[in-house]
């Protein structure tokens, strides 16, 4: 999107839906992906770049702090939601960020009706929330191969141990 259209931080779902409708009226395709994106790393950037390459715009569903805690346990997220949203929204590949607190992003997907649903290849197709619905309205589901050895959990563990790991602090997807 053009620089003036870029926003910093998360936007309300209603605003993202209206923006998506404007794009569709112009014949543009929208991709959607989601995640915690806690301690952003090269694996995340790879996924986001690949997701954006699948469409004209990318909306990212970002797990709220409470949602991350439910998924990952106490001590997570490392970064609060507002900061994770700000960092994500600053990336060239990301056009909009919408925060969700539900256990899954299904409600976001149903509201946004993306043309392409993108997840990391660590998710089996039948595990991808919203895949059936997106295919049902004519959309596509894309699984992006992961960058090996990249994971936020592994990165946090290495930092806790004071271990730079091979090639410095590197990590991956979930």
**Domain holding 137: CATH number?**
3.40.50.620
pTM: 0.84
Determine, yes or no, domain membership for 174: no
Determine, yes or no, domain membership for 135: yes
Which domain does 38 fall in, by range? 3-148
Query: In the chain, how many domains are there?
Result: 1
Determine, yes or no, domain membership for 72: yes
Determine, yes or no, domain membership for 156: no
Please report the pLDDT score of residue 45 as a whole number.
94
Please report the pLDDT score of residue 172 as a whole number.
43
Determine, yes or no, domain membership for 160: no
CB 146 within 8 A of CB 154: no
Determine, yes or no, domain membership for 39: yes
Determine, yes or no, domain membership for 154: no
pLDDT in tens for each of the 174 residues of the chain?
444 355 689 999 999 999 999 999 999 999 999 999 988 888 899 999 999 999 999 999 999 999 999 998 888 898 999 999 999 999 999 999 999 999 999 999 999 999 999 999 989 989 999 999 999 999 999 999 987 655 655 555 665 677 765 454 444 444
- Burial string for 89-124 (b: 16+ CB within 10 Å, else e) reads bebebbbbbbbbeeeebeebbeebbbbbbbbbeebe
Determine, yes or no, domain membership for 167: no
User: What would you report as the CA-atom Rg of the chain, rounded to the nearest whole angstrom?
Assistant: 16
Distance CA 174, CA 172 (A): 7
CB 156 within 8 A of CB 39: yes
Please report the pLDDT score of residue 115 as a whole number.
98
């Amino acid at each position: 999107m053009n620089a003036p259209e870029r926003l910093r931080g998360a936007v309300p779902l209603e605003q993202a839906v209206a923006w998506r409708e404007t794009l569709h009226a112009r014949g543009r395709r929208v991709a959607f992906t989601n995640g915690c994106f806690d301690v952003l790393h090269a694996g995340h950037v790879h996924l986001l770049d690949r997701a954006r390459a699948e469409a004209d715009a990318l909306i990212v569903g970002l797990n709220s702090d409470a949602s991350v805690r439910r998924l990952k346990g106490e001590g997570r997220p490392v970064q609060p939601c507002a900061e994770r949203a700000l960092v994500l929204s600053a990336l060239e590949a990301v056009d909009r960020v919408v925060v969700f607190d539900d256990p899954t992003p299904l409600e976001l997907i149903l509201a946004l009706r993306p043309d392409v649903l993108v997840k990391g290849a660590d998710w089996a197709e039948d595990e991808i929330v919203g895949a059936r619905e997106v295919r049902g309205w004519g959309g596509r589901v894309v699984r992006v191969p992961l960058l090996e050895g990249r994971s936020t959990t592994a990165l946090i563990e290495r930092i806790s141990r004071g271990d730079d790991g091979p090639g410095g602090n590197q990590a991956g997807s979930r």
